[in-house]
Structure 1
């Protein structure tokens, strides 16, 4: 037994996760009724989501408390890259929808009646602003990352003026929280085995066969952004071959994010990868939690592809100006997706309203989103989370050349 434990500890985490994927898929096919296996996945994601808000708050507050006036950082460049990447992804989704027009069978989709989408862009930003000033305790309890991030920034800046002993206490809290998350991440292979088991045993591929083209456009757009658009942006900034960095981010961040389906839960993985890349901890301890909140290229793609599918289905003509406006709305709305209950799917009615599509039809499109969500949400999170590390590294590597 001790020999097996020793061997297990020596295996790389990615290889362990791959073993979990394979075993979860096999168990999902062979014994789909043994639901206790799926409980491992529920417990794993639950544990990550429980500790992630504390991690975001402690890391950001600690990082900002250590900064000094005039200290050089790359945050402006990182935020610019986040916004540029999200807008570029939204444009890619529109172009893909023109090349591969999708017609949905909306009458066969049951709309979600227990959720309420925002009524317009104004309401999205109103919700976003209210989340910024949410009670900090409530923000932590409800995983309101917009609120957690805003209060972490405020407390971090205020703590710059306290004694070093107080700063050391905050540093210890951040280190302890990170250690707890490391323990949870160590259980990822078992948790992912449970997640894969649940997906295979509950859904299989039958639920997705009628939405093949939609999934092709969604996943294809995300892959194009990850493998073409992001590398182009990185090349323009770094002036060197970006693909080794791109592939490393996808392999070491995107894989785990694909199965956890939570950018916030993947923060510890991204932090460890940034450390491995030798990046400045004062920068990535802020940029990674920030990216998990506002860097939403995958969400922008989801919003635009499903909105354009509704437009094509209803025969609405969309000119370039309207498509460009849709991309702006999708990019800005996606940045606030984590502050809206339901995430990117519930922002689809906002985008649909630009073309006069009634809410009942838009909600049926949301229903389609929930059907393909097994694959869409995983790919979306993988793109979002891996890009957090990529753009953080790109901004810093560009600074190295100055």
Structure 2
């Protein structure tokens, strides 16, 4: 199992969970639900620590890279992320009600089943308190140039990374299995699975749309053919699909950006930076999947509620650890606090997100080169 990627293991977990739930053997389903409940509590506990561990040193390191181009690159990355999330909301609210009719409302099975026992693991800090703490620590370390604190926070980041790599990621398929076992037992799984495929196709279509928009804008600013530029980015796009990592794809992304006329200095600066702070594809996926999960539950959410979520998501993506599914891990806190997601909804979000993670990463890295093209234009003017 360790040799398999996260997505195959997740799919195996979903299948096993459905099979166990479909058997209607209550004790097996309750055992899985018990594990999922405890694991969900542990996730709630680790989320504030994850935010502090990744956001604080990330902001501190950005502060060390002073200069006009840093501000331009970070600003463009954030604007691109917010535009992607807003676009996802507008399209998803128009299309999802057609793809997910009101009859697909989950939670109408009429059968209730509970875990054998529960275990409470309260988080050290609320999520928003952790986010503000991370901002204060990151900005403070950058302001006083504290090498000791930055080194300490980087070691803390390493600890949390180990927890994600060796505890959360390996056990995530079992957690998802428990959620799907419960849905299969209560007769809700077929409606959920039918939604999965439709949402997946909608997300991929929006990824392609935002890439075209990004390169049309970048091409108009840099006076380059946007579609020829997109063609030059195909090696990076397909590499990202295979690696599921923006960081691992950086060498290919840099080389592809240079083919689009970006100078060596800007490509080697902007692409690695954007690999950390620019996640437009991930934002599209998280926003769309969140709206789908909300619609599955038979409710809706307005723009006034989703836009602040998108604004915060653009900042919180800095906390996304460089592992498959890292972006959704960083977003769990916002989903629970700002959108009121329950443990079961968070589980569905993780399953939906990880199913397309490689395509979201490919969208992220391709957009990084579009930002590099714009930054290069500003660099040549200065």
Provide TM-score, normalisation by structure 1. 0.55
Distance 1:198 1:149 in 2: 33
Distance 1:300 1:84 in 2: 12
Distance 1:33 1:108 in 2: 17
Query: Deviation string for 1:239-274 (max 9, x for gaps)?
Result: 223454445445544xxxxxxxxxxxxxxx666665
Distance 1:275 1:179 in 2: 23
Distance 1:21 1:304 in 2: 22
- 3-state SS in 1 of match to 2:156: helix
| Residue in structure 2 matched with residue 204 of structure 1 by the alignment | 184
Are residue 63 (structure 1) and residue 65 (structure 2) matched? no
Distance 2:49 2:268 in 1: 24
Distance 2:164 2:290 in 1: 30
| Residue in structure 1 matched with residue 117 of structure 2 by the alignment | none
Check whether the contact 2:93–2:291 (CA below 8 A) recurs between aligned residues: yes
| Structure-to-structure mapping, 1:301-316, within 5 angstroms | 301=288
Are residue 147 (structure 1) and residue 109 (structure 2) matched? no
| Residue in structure 2 matched with residue 335 of structure 1 by the alignment | 311
Are residue 223 (structure 1) and residue 214 (structure 2) matched? no
Q: Which runs of 5+ in 1 are unaligned?
A: 1-6, 111-138, 254-268, 315-325, 347-365
Structure 2 residue corresponding to 1:183, chosen from 152, 162, 165: 162
Check whether the contact 2:240–2:365 (CA below 8 A) recurs between aligned residues: yes
Check whether the contact 2:105–2:295 (CA below 8 A) recurs between aligned residues: no
| Displacement after TM superposition at 1:86 (Å) | 1.3
Check whether the contact 2:77–2:371 (CA below 8 A) recurs between aligned residues: yes
Distance 1:200 1:306 in 2: 14
Q: 1:21 to 1:140 in 2, by over 3 A?
A: same
- 3-state SS in 2 of match to 1:342: helix
Check whether the contact 2:211–2:367 (CA below 8 A) recurs between aligned residues: no
Q: Which runs of 5+ in 2 are unaligned?
A: 21-27, 110-122, 219-225, 255-266, 314-330
Larger mean CA deviation between 60-69 and 80-89 belongs to: 60-69
| Displacement after TM superposition at 1:307 (Å) | 8.5
| Structure-to-structure mapping, 1:1-20, within 5 angstroms | 11=3, 15-18=4-7, 20=9
Are residue 192 (structure 1) and residue 182 (structure 2) matched? no
Distance 2:296 2:182 in 1: 27
Distance 2:48 2:131 in 1: 16
Are residue 396 (structure 1) and residue 379 (structure 2) matched? no
- 3-state SS in 2 of match to 1:74: helix
| Displacement after TM superposition at 1:83 (Å) | 1.7
Query: Deviation string for 1:253-308 (max 9, x for gaps)?
Result: 4xxxxxxxxxxxxxxx666665886686898668746859x974345435766889
Distance 2:58 2:65 in 1: 11
Are residue 240 (structure 1) and residue 216 (structure 2) matched? no
| Displacement after TM superposition at 1:218 (Å) | 3.9
Are residue 297 (structure 1) and residue 284 (structure 2) matched? yes
Check whether the contact 1:90–1:300 (CA below 8 A) recurs between aligned residues: yes
Query: Deviation string for 1:155-198 (max 9, x for gaps)?
Result: 14422xx4xxx32x234224313322342343255222322332
| Displacement after TM superposition at 1:105 (Å) | 8.1
Larger mean CA deviation between 188-197 and 272-281 belongs to: 272-281
Check whether the contact 1:86–1:296 (CA below 8 A) recurs between aligned residues: yes
- 3-state SS in 2 of match to 1:203: helix
Q: 1:307 to 1:175 in 2, by over 3 A?
A: closer
Distance 2:153 2:62 in 1: 12
Q: How well do the aligned residues superpose, as a CA RMSD in angstroms? A: 5.1
Structure 2 residue corresponding to 1:379, chosen from 343, 346, 352: 352
Query: Deviation string for 1:341-388 (max 9, x for gaps)?
Result: 735644xxxxxxxxxxxxxxxxxxx9xx98776545543576697465
| Residue in structure 2 matched with residue 54 of structure 1 by the alignment | 52
Distance 2:58 2:132 in 1: 13
Are residue 90 (structure 1) and residue 85 (structure 2) matched? no
Provide TM-score, normalisation by structure 2. 0.58
Query: Deviation string for 1:99-145 (max 9, x for gaps)?
Result: 558335889869xxxxxxxxxxxxxxxxxxxxxxxxxxxx9822326
Q: 1:201 to 1:273 in 2, by over 3 A?
A: farther
Q: 1:92 to 1:107 in 2, by over 3 A?
A: closer
